[in-house]
Amino acid sequence: MKVRFWGVRGSIPSPGPKTIRYGGNTTCIEVRSDAGELIILDGGTGIFALAQSLLAELPISATVFITHTHWDHIQGLPFFTPLYIPGNSLRLCGAHDVVTGTGIEQVMSVQLQYSYFPVREAEMHARIEYQTLRVGATVAVGDARVTNTILNHPVINLGYRIDCNGKSVFFTGDHEPYFNIYEPGDEDYAEYQTLIEGKQRTIDEAVAGCDVLIADCSFTTAEYPAKRGWGHGTFAASIELARRCGVKQLVCTHHEPTRSDDELERIFAEALAQCRLGPADPSVILAREGLEIAI
């Protein structure tokens, strides 16, 4: 498999001279199976540059897996140029929205309301298929298999594991490690602790043995207490997850949009020093636009 990053920032695009090295686009990751099947993880603003690259290999067939429907993970979808070209096909997969009671088709219908976007879905000439996923379901994409797992975020967020010929990638989307909302000694503490430990085991089982883990590392350990409950992870928590699950390589992404590249590199170096990685630990790198990983 091959993995390429097209967008690595969180929350809002942050282009400018201070984000040139790592990029200012929001989440979008391209995965190619061994047979060349095109899998796209999330449709943030980075998907526009991916779309331009795909114009050289038309017609294309792509399967897009949406982790969750916050803007920074879907806002590039209407600008995915192959959607407007006959002969292309796109399958859009994601979770059922328990708030609206709708399926994944809402990510297009909401954005394509005429008050907000000048093009209607009827004007998209590619074949579009929507597939609302059952939790834990596996979707076949040619020679690859994509299995989802619920992670911890203010809306339903599906992490995706992609397996292909013995190699594997797991992408968390946005994820905050589970924490107990009760204080030790509260009567509900033990019951809630059992609940979240079960949820964590499910995640660990999904991540176990992955060649590459792509994880939400928005905050430092020092920043986290003020951000608790926002639904985002830390460098330390992601490194611990990778260690615990026997991951070979951790790629830290969803960079906080107010950080410059220099600040990002500084806090990353501090996080690595604090975690004291050893020879048996996974390698840990920062995601950047254009980064390619062959597995």
Every domain of the chain and the residues it spans: 2-294
Tell me which DSSP letter residue 1 carries: -
DSSP three-state, residue 65: strand
Nearest to 238 by CA among 277, 265, 194, 199: 277
Per-residue pLDDT of the chain (295 residues; tens, 9 = 90+): 999 999 999 999 999 999 999 999 999 999 999 999 999 999 999 999 999 999 999 999 999 999 999 999 999 999 999 999 999 999 999 999 887 888 999 889 889 988 889 888 888 999 999 999 999 999 999 999 999 999 999 999 999 999 999 999 999 999 999 999 999 999 999 999 999 999 999 999 999 999 999 999 999 999 999 999 999 999 999 999 999 999 999 999 999 999 999 999 999 999 999 999 888 899 999 999 999 999 9
CB neighbours of residue 181 within 10 Å: 12
Tell me the CATH number of domain 2-294, given options 3.30.420.10, 3.40.50.720, 3.60.15.10, 3.40.50.150: 3.60.15.10
Cβ-proximal residues to 248 (8 Å cutoff; 6+ apart), any chain: 210, 211, 212, 282, 283
**pTM score of the predicted model:** 0.96
What residues pair up with 87 in beta bridges, in sequence order? none
Residue 77 near residue 47 (C-beta atoms within 8 A)? yes
